Amino acid sequence: MTTLHEPMVTGPDLSVWPASTEEPHTGAVTVGGVPLAEIADRFGTPVYVLDEGEVRERCRTYRDAFPDAEVLYAAKAFLCRAMADWIAGEGLGLDVCSAGELELAVSIGFPPERIVLHGNAKSPRDLETALRLAVGRIVIDSPSEIARLAAAVGPGGHQKVMVRVVPGISAGGHEKIRTGTDDQKFGLSIADGYAQHAIARILDQPQLELTGLHCHLGSQITSLKPYLAAVRRMVGLMARLHEQHGLVLPEIDLGGGHGIAYRPGEPALDLTALARRVRAELTESCTVAGLPVPRLIIEPGRAIVGPAGIAVYHVLAVKRTRDRTFVAVDGGMSDNPRPALYGVRYAPRLIGRHSAVAPAVVTVVGRHCEAGDLLAADVELPGDVRPGDLLAVPVAGAYHLSMASGYNMVGRPPVVAVRDGLARLLVRRESLGDIRSRDVGL
Angle CA 324–335–389, to nearest 5: 50
Instruction: Count CA atoms closer than 13 A to 327's CA, side-chain side.
Output: 28
Instruction: Count CA atoms closer than 13 A to 265's CA, side-chain side.
Output: 4
Catalytic residues: 369
Q: Which amino acid is at 62?
A: Y
Question: Is residue 378 packed enough to be buried (19+ CB in 10 Å), middle (13-18) or exposed (0-12)?
Answer: exposed
Dist CA 388 CA 110 (whole Å): 42
Dist CA 297 CA 2 (whole Å): 21
